[in-house]
Chain A
Amino acid sequence: MNSVAQLKLKRLEPPDEEEFATPVAERESALGLPVTLNKISKRFGGRSVLNTLSLSIEASEFVAVVGRSGCGKTTLLRLITGLDPVSDGHLAIAGDEVRGLQGRVRLLFQDARLLMWQRVLNNVGISRDTGWRETAKQALQDVGLADRAQDWPAVLSGGQKQRVALARALVSRPGVLLLDEPFGALDALTRAEMHELLIRIWSAHRFTTILITHDVAEAVTLADRIIVLRDGNVALDQKVDLPRHRRSGAEAARLQNIVLGHV
């Protein structure tokens, strides 16, 4: 119990550069998948939300999508997840056209969406694939919640719930992880913790990551590349070529200003 708690605390400390160089877990090889959007459009009734949008996301890239509310960010995620079909154009993951839901894509929702009537471990192992207990325990350990496996979700804090949701997404080793403003409701301190955690896990697993956010600072902190969406299309496609661990600094501020200018 004590050693687990210590491990958890240790894991939550800001990771240094070395930890990124040698990933925490080298259980699996890099399995990020490329995502290609070719002139996709999405209309709801007569209203056009996305308009001939083209975007090519490389395998294992960390992309942040920024934009005002109603710019089509969430719609874009739902299309890539396969929850909604595209109206026009082609959307492919690793070269295969997306048709409906798929196991290699996982979505982290804005709210954690845990099943309140199942213990934390059973929430993480929701698929109940063979050997789910072991993989779920492993995933919980990755997010630093190994000691909460048998708790009910109701007793967890907001940040802990999101970490459980993250563990649930990681269990199936997704090739693409989509995040729909999952840290929006958290306080600043917890949010910073979650950023560290996400970057550490992403460095280890190398899934392709698409993060939706309206927080430009968050986008600059986390992503390799920032896409600004406006009126259903790409208004800016900005590389972020900074070393990891970029809480502040002149370059980060400059990038933030560029992005803000296009939102």
Chain B
Amino acid sequence: MTLNKILDKALTWLVPVAILVLWEVSARSGILAARLLPAPSSVALAFIATLRDGSLWANTLISGERALKGLAIGGILGFLLGMLNGLWPPAEKLLDSSMQMLRNVPHLAIIPLVILWFGIDEAAKIFLVTIGVLFPIYLNTYHGVRTVDRGLIEMGRVYGLKPTALLWRIILPGALPSILVGLRYALGIMWLTLIVAETISASSGLGYMTMNAREFMQTDIVLLGIIVYALLGKLADVATRWIEKRALAWHPSYQENAGAAI
């Protein structure tokens, strides 16, 4: 690596590091009240402390479990509904307009109703996540199936493919890029929904951890919770990118040597 390249790399980190240093200095000198915004170093200490007593890990795990359960249920339901409505016009006629109407209701608006139905136990949070992820996956699956090139399906028929082969080899792979876009949206909504749900009513999980810390004025733990959320969001994004890179290896935009290969 040349000196220029090192300088170039250093430049991108300059602003974040400067902010951290400035923040630390102002917190220590008392310009910032530690109650409102504790120094980065005390957030780091809180991280170590919660890691030692196991509370951070346990809360992250329980939140992760809720998120994945909701994603699995909502994702599968959305996918199946999307396939059904995309492939079978009577189902589309029957269900699609209702789905379009329901998706316009902000799903967090039904929190009071959900608390009435499920109380504040696990089912309430999983239900909210389910509703949250269902619509983006439904919409993108439906759209993906509807926009598969009709010419390819006609080709498949001319070349003797049976309906199941058409589904597995033409329709599903053709819809996959769109379905994965839906998954990416859904992952964002999944965390958002869970944070809100856990913040409002929970006795465990990351949202509970931060709300509990607020009660005791442990601002460092509140900040830590926010940072963990950011990291989990990033992790979900990395995971979808990884899936896309593998599942869409055929796609021109995922081929490193696409231009040079001809």
Residues of A at under 8 Å CB distance from B?
Answer: 81, 83, 101, 103, 106-107, 109, 111, 113, 115-118, 126-128, 151-157, 168, 172
A154 cross-chain contacts in B, Cβ below 8 A? 250-252, 255, 258
Contact of B152 with A113 in the complex, beta carbons under 8 Å = yes
Interface status of B160 (Cβ within 8 A of chain A): yes
Contact of A155 with B255 in the complex, beta carbons under 8 Å = yes
Contact of B158 with A106 in the complex, beta carbons under 8 Å = yes
Contact of A156 with B262 in the complex, beta carbons under 8 Å = yes
Contact of B251 among A81, A83, A115, A116 (CB under 8 A): A116
Residue with the highest number of chain A CB atoms closer than 10 Å, among B151, B157, B169, B250? B250
A116 cross-chain contacts in B, Cβ below 8 A? 250-251
Question: A-side binding surface: helix, strand, loop or mixed?
Answer: loop
Tell me the smallest distance from the CB of B87 to a CB of chain A, in Å: 18
Could you list 12 examples of A-B contacts with CB < 8 Å?
A: A83-B157, A101-B158, A109-B155, A111-B151, A113-B151, A115-B173, A118-B169, A127-B160, A127-B161, A153-B250, A154-B258, A155-B258
A155 CA / B253 CA spacing, docked (Å): 11
A126 cross-chain contacts in B, Cβ below 8 A? 156, 159, 161, 169
B152 cross-chain contacts in A, Cβ below 8 A? 113, 115
Pick the 6 closest A-B CB pairs, nearest first. A155-B261, A117-B173, A113-B155, A117-B250, A154-B252, A152-B250
A153 cross-chain contacts in B, Cβ below 8 A? 250
B159 cross-chain contacts in A, Cβ below 8 A? 106, 126-127, 168, 172
Contact of A83 with B154 in the complex, beta carbons under 8 Å = yes
Interface status of B167 (Cβ within 8 A of chain A): no
A103 CA / B161 CA spacing, docked (Å): 10
Contact of A83 among B156, B158, B261 (CB under 8 A): B158
Query: Which B232-258 residues sit within 8 Å CB-CB of chain A?
Result: 248-252, 255, 257-258
Interface status of B192 (Cβ within 8 A of chain A): no
Contact of A103 among B160, B169, B249, B252 (CB under 8 A): B160
A107 CA / B262 CA spacing, docked (Å): 26
Tell me the smallest distance from the CB of A210 to a CB of chain B, in Å: 14
A113 CA / B156 CA spacing, docked (Å): 9
Contact of B262 among A103, A128, A155, A172 (CB under 8 A): A155
- Which B-chain residue is minimally distant from A100 (CB atoms)? B157
A101 cross-chain contacts in B, Cβ below 8 A? 157-158, 160
- Which A-chain residue is minimally distant from B165 (CB atoms)? A128
A106 CA / B170 CA spacing, docked (Å): 19
A152 CA / B252 CA spacing, docked (Å): 9
Tell me the smallest distance from the CB of B101 to a CB of chain A, in Å: 34
- Which B-chain residue is minimally distant from A126 (CB atoms)? B159
A113 cross-chain contacts in B, Cβ below 8 A? 149, 151-152, 155
A155 CA / B155 CA spacing, docked (Å): 21
A115 cross-chain contacts in B, Cβ below 8 A? 152, 169-170, 173
A156 CA / B261 CA spacing, docked (Å): 8
Contact mask B138-165 → A, CB, 8 Å, 1/0?
0000000000010110111111110001
A107 CA / B149 CA spacing, docked (Å): 17
